[in-house]
Amino acid sequence: MQQLTLFSESTPVLPVSYYPDFLTQELANELYQHCLKLEWQQNQIRIAGKTMPVPRLECIYGDAGCDYLYSNSVFLKPLTWTEPLSNLRDRITALTSYKFRIVIGNQYRTGMDSIGWHADNEQSMGINPAIASVSLGSCRKFQIKPRNGKATDFWLEHGSLLVMHPGCQSTHLHQVPKTNKVVSTRINLTFRPHIGGR
Ligand SMILES: O=C(O)CCC(=O)C(=O)O
């Protein structure tokens, strides 16, 4: 499998690995169709005292009790794993040895849906979580940068896997910016650990 590694102990460029062809096109198409039928919702987020809709749809599946709170305002309660999602989780663990207890889905309906600069550093994932991100559907730009550093752009393709290794969330921020280009739906699945609590 083709892998682009931007992670090395001696010359740490970026603490991520990218597998453009993690899934065959056939499997990626099947998964995309499955994911469209998941329980998507548009949550509300509170930022600087203001409540507003999250600019994308979200869903969460995972182990019972692995509740997830982010930005101190969006509370996600996992639904039971579907078979395709748990199979995908197991494939990623077989490749990376990282273990996951939840998957959070993001659905970007148009170029106006996005996620701003952030790190996934919620306490419920423990210290230095590894996060694995599968992309399905339209290709969108994903940017990652050291805190206060320069951004690197990735184009996350249908069927690709991006792994953010332990430490990445402490040193780097990432985002999927809005775009004026005409793009159709993209689904992203982020597999995450969970240590209990919220
Ligand atoms: O959609 C993506 O590729 C990134 C999603 C993300 O950053 C997140 O869920 O925290």
**Annotated domain spans of the chain:** 19-35+56-192
Q: Is any atom of ligand 1 closer than 6 Å to the C-beta of 133? A: yes
- Segment 51-88, tens digit of pLDDT: 999 999 999 999 999 999 999 999 999 999 999 999 99
Q: How far is the first Cα of the chain from the last one, in angstroms, to the nearest whole number?
A: 36
What pLDDT score does 117 carry? 97
SS3 label, residue 25: helix
Q: Which CATH architecture has domain 19-35+56-192?
A: Sandwich (2.60)
Confidence of residue 89 (pLDDT cuts 50, 70, 90): very high
> In angstroms, what is the span from residue 181 Cα to ligand 1's centroid?
19
Using most ligand atoms within 8 A of CB, pick from 188, 189, 191 the residue to mutate for ligand 1.
Answer: 188
Residue type, 45: I
**How many angstroms separate the Cα of 32 from the Cα of each of 23, 134, 136, 147?**
11, 11, 6, 33
What's the mean pLDDT when you consider all of the chain?
94
Instruction: Determine whether 100 is exposed, middle or buried from the number of CB atoms within 10 Å of its CB (0-12, 13-18, 19+).
Output: buried
115 Cα to the center of ligand 1, angstroms? 7
* Residue 7: predicted pLDDT: 54
pLDDT tens readout for residues 123-172 = 999 999 999 999 999 999 999 999 988 999 999 999 999 999 999 999 99
**According to the model, what pLDDT value does residue 62 have?**
98
pLDDT on residue 196: 83
48: which DSSP letter? T
Distance 106 CA to ligand 1 centre (A): 7
**Choice from 56, 142, 152 to test ligand 1 binding pocket (greatest atom count within 8 A of CB):** 142
Q: List alpha helices for the chain, DSSP H.
A: 25-36, 83-96, 168-171
